[in-house]
Structure 1
Amino acid sequence: MEKRRATPTLKDFGIVAAILAGIVAIGSAHSYITHYGETPEQVAAQARQAAVDAQAAKDRQSARNALHQLEKAKLDRLCPAELACAAFSSARQECATAGDFQNCLSVKLGDDSKYAPYCTNDGNLNPASVSEELPNYARCVTWKYANWLL
């Protein structure tokens, strides 16, 4: 013989509602005690700490912005030369048989021919001509297209 499943009664719903109401009441009391139980000194200390934390975050952001600006200025200075040197390698070989080597380079490189004295024969920027660490070619290509898009 099968046992019939009892349907929930109003009493069952009342028990569940009482449990939920108890959980809400305990949570509300805990929130009230922890939040409203603070002294004015504690509230002031928390406000001062929040202000100090906000200023520290602002200072960190300013430092990051300054480093970003320095990196951008470095790329603005060195990447045109780095990219010109990459083109210089092939232009140098193409102009090797030309009657006027310098004129051929200036025609092939255009405005970038001013960077030719800073390039090595294999198409790299000569590290001796620059007093700081050189960016890599991929970084300069990214820089070029980022500036082009702006």
Structure 2
Amino acid sequence: AILSVYKGIALDASGQYESALSEFQKAAKNWPEYREPPIRMAVTYVRLGKYDEAIEAGNRAVLKLGSKSPVVWVALLEAFARKGDTKQAAAAMANLAGNDKDLAKRIGSKPGDWRNAVDKLTRKDLEFGLESELAYRPERTEPPKKKQSGD
């Protein structure tokens, strides 16, 4: 899964967005708890103008996987702004500002600034490891079974 993410990052950086998405999707399928692929997918979908897909991927990263990455909020911010949903865009900006004030300042506080938010991401913003922990580890729902003698 990590190799697919690295390939996707390289493809995305060189403007090969459809190929990048394919790699991110492969990584997401092989390791569904991994936060990085849906964050990267959200950014790439925005670059392709596929805002509904960007919102779906961003929401998966945030709501299902608990992402705290400022980058996902940038992608959601632009996707909502491009769709004309200023209320959701403002909520994304508030979350971005709560996570990374400097990045929020660079993006800009006016709704007109939000329509090209992803373009304002730097190479440093997009470095690998958008999350401090790479995988979401849900709590065990049942205790591990004890080995019985003779096993």
TM-score range, shorter chain: under 0.3
Q: Which structure dedicates a bigger proportion of its chain to helix?
A: 1
TM-score (norm 2): 0.26
TM-score (norm 1): 0.26
Quick check: which has more Rg, 1 or 2? 1
